[in-house]
Amino acid sequence: MEIPIQSLHKPSNWAGNIVFAARTVERPRTIAELQDIVRWSGKIRVLGSGHSFNTIADTDDTLLILSDLERRIEIDPAARTVNVDGGATYADLAPILHASGFALHNVASLPNITIAGAVATATHGSGDANKNLAAAVSGIKLVTANGEILNLSRGDADFDGAVVSLGALGVICELTLDIVPSFEIRQNVYLDLPVSAVIDNFDALMSRAYSVSLFTRWQGAATDQIWVKALTSAGEPPADVLGARAATKACHPIPDMDGTNCTAQFGVAGPWHERLFHFAIGNTASAGAELQSEFFVKRSDAPAAIAALHAAQEHFSKALFISEVRSVAADALWLSSAYEQDTIGFHFTWHPEWKPTLAAVKAVEAALTPFNPRPHWAKLFTLPAATIEAAFPRLPDFRELAKRHDPEGKFRNRFVTELFFSQPA
């Protein structure tokens, strides 16, 4: 089916392909209001910025939106941490952090997504030494099914299972994040690198800067763009990338789109939050009307996975706006796509036509099957539950954790139940 027309009465996700079925939409302003709503609700799910493309946030009962919570951004310079409320976005946090002389180690492509939503789904940025965004969490407060607040800190027995939880344990009302001293980045874009050069030099290519992204339409024999984000303190970035030519105008990840919405390029030094995001705070991001998928493979399998996708490109490339290839460092979070392995993420931004996209997603999954891909929880995938179970070795432990903290399944919807639980909740 085509993307539906957005309902005038019910909220939809960012892309407009999901109109939420909620009977009630609640927007608490205080933690006490949030606790009361959770305490007296039946089934309940949380909607962040809506930057998800499947039914992970859907419910036919109560939908919680936390954007009206009072913003709480409290920096502890001595501990090098910041506390943020469950409705805050990276656009809310980043300028305040920078003004105080601090930074996050890593950010995603878009600044307008909620921090809690990004954490709960293991959303990531890029960089060989950079873990995903959830790995910055050192403390989490959840409103549990009975309306009480559960505090967990790094090192607690349940912590590694509770950070990336897909909302199945409770409502994130506060996060404590690690922060680092503010830093500057230079961003350069290079064009038309042969796929063969990418495969033959993959490790050297991805490790040449703080963050490297490859953008490709999987058409022909060349990678369209290489975005190199280098620490200013590391000196001038390289003049060329394996013979790829330097861009002479501001680039957008999607060729032929206006690059002026993107963060500054051409090696102009700037603060971390004005370079690590692909899109500048306050500007229109990506294509707008689009669908997205992403799959992760072990870092050592990346060259073979690229070759497999290149061989299968005729089966999915026509449905694409663009695809991005990024590296993410390993972490210890049970449901993270980088759990105990350095990974490479293959991100796909699809045209908003359902049937061609579904066929393309299945073609990508087939090409990546030999590499045991892990999906991005908030994006489109068709991998069966058994495949998911095999890809996440701590999933049985997470299932028991969810049953212990939410025995009645208040926070489970159909999406979570079909993925993780054999019986409907």
Architecture of domain 184-384: 2-Layer Sandwich (3.30)
Cα 105 off chain centre by: 15
Residues 314, 199 contacting (CB under 8 angstroms): no
Question: What is the DSSP code string of 16-31?
Answer: SS-B---SEEE--SSH
Predicted confidence band at 284 (pLDDT cuts at 50, 70, 90)?
A: low
Q: What local confidence, expressed as pLDDT, does residue 354 receive? A: 92
The backbone region for 315, taken as left when phi is positive above 0, alpha when psi lies in -120 to 50, beta otherwise, is alpha
Residues 103, 277 contacting (CB under 8 angstroms): no
Predicted confidence band at 11 (pLDDT cuts at 50, 70, 90)?
A: confident
Whether the predicted pLDDT of 425 surpasses 60: no
Cα 85 off chain centre by: 19
- The neighbour count for residue 382, using CB atoms within 10 Å, is 12
- Give the residue-averaged pLDDT of 389-402: 96
What CATH class does 73-182 carry?
alpha beta
- Per the structure block, which two tokens stand in for 42? 């039946």
**Domain boundaries, given as residue ranges, for the chain:** 73-182, 184-384
For 186-211, give one letter per residue: b (16+ CB within 10 A) or e.
Answer: bbbbbbebebebbbeebeebbebbbb
Residues 34, 71 contacting (CB under 8 angstroms): no
Predicted confidence band at 9 (pLDDT cuts at 50, 70, 90)?
A: low
Predicted confidence band at 243 (pLDDT cuts at 50, 70, 90)?
A: confident
